[in-house]
C-alpha cells in the first residue's frame, strides 16, 4: 500500500516535465517581435536621465576598483 502513492507521485513528476513551453525568440521580418526593453535610466532613480545613470555607473565602478578604494590607506 505504501508503494502506490510513491508510484503515483513519480508518475506525476514525470508528466509535469512534459509541459515545457518553447523558449525560441520570435522574429518578424528580421526584427525582434518580443517585449520591448526600457532603458536603464528610465526609472525614478535618475532624475536627469542618462547623464545621472552614467555618473552612477562610474561611481559604482570606482567603488569596485581596489586601487581606488585603498589609495591613501597604507
Q: How many Cβ atoms sit within 10 Å of the Cβ of residue 52? A: 13
Ranges under pLDDT 50 in the chain:
74
Task: Tell whether pTM > 0.75.
Answer: no
Q: Which three cell numbers stand for residue 33?
A: 517581435
Tell me the backbone φ, ψ of residue 73, rounded to 5 degrees. Answer: -115, 70
- Positive or negative: CA dihedral 51, 56, 60, 62: positive
Q: What pLDDT score does 74 carry?
A: 44
Amino acid at each position: 500500500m505504501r508503494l502506490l502513492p510513491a508510484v503515483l507521485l513519480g508518475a506525476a513528476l514525470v508528466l509535469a516535465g512534459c509541459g515545457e513551453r518553447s523558449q525560441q525568440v520570435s522574429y518578424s521580418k528580421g526584427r525582434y517581435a518580443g517585449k520591448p526593453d526600457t532603458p536603464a535610466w528610465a526609472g525614478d532613480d535618475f532624475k536627469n536621465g542618462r547623464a545621472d545613470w552614467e555618473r552612477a555607473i562610474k561611481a559604482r565602478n570606482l567603488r569596485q576598483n581596489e586601487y581606488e578604494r585603498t589609495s591613501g590607506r597604507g
